[in-house]
Amino acid sequence: MNERVLIIGGFGSIAVAVALLIFGSATLAILTFAFLGLGVVLLLAGLVQMRKQDGADAITRSPSLATRSDRVVWIAAAILAGLAAIASIVAATVAVGEATGHAAGHLVVGLAGLLLFAGLALAWHPQPGSGKASIRGMVLLILGVGAFGSFIESLGGAGYDAANLERRVESLASLHGIGVLFGPVALLAIPIGTVTILLVACSAIVTRIRHA
């Protein structure tokens, strides 16, 4: 699929998500997240395809520094992916009653953060040492911490039956208090990551038009 179609579709999906968020009701929350996720995926796919066609910027980057930085980023992504898998299994097999929705909600937020983290790491490679590289590092850090906290809170939520209607798993519930500490970061991470992707996409489009 043409990268322009992917990017336009991504912007359109995010616009629909914003409209649903502003004008929709609580019952449309799932659709809002669905369109937001679709928009992010389309934008990332378009950016990756654009990078492949442009040959990226491998010539201007320092290979050793870029490789070392990327290695750290992908190790962090692998750790987060492993934690996401554990949280998913626990949410599906351990959580009961009220705890099920609690765990699933935090899991979705964590997965959104992980998707943004991996997407930005894959699609955006500014020159090491530049201001853009610093911004990329800060955004990835916020996304990584937010995703980590959400997965921990999901694990804690799986055992945290606040109403005590069925059962509470204390060993898991104890993690909930730790995860809550990362709550503000998780809430900031999603919009920051989404805005960053939008800006990267706009920059890539402008660059492509200038070179056309």
Q: Give me the mean pLDDT over the 81-98 stretch.
A: 87
SS percent in the chain: helix, strand, coil, step 5: 85, 0, 15
pLDDT tens digits, residue range 104-123?
888 999 999 999 999 888 88
Contacts 24+ apart (CB under 8 A), 63-68: 65/128, 65/129, 66/125, 66/128
Residue 100, both tokens: 């099920």
Alpha helices for the chain (secondary structure H): 3-23, 29-54, 63-93, 98-123, 131-158, 170-180, 183-211
**The pTM of the whole model exceeds 0.85:** no
User: Residue 158, Cβ neighbours under 10 Å: how many?
Assistant: 29
Chain Cα centroid distance, residue 126: 19
Residue 164 has pLDDT above 60, yes or no: no
29 — pLDDT class (breaks 50, 70, 90): low
| % of the chain exceeding 90 in pLDDT | 11
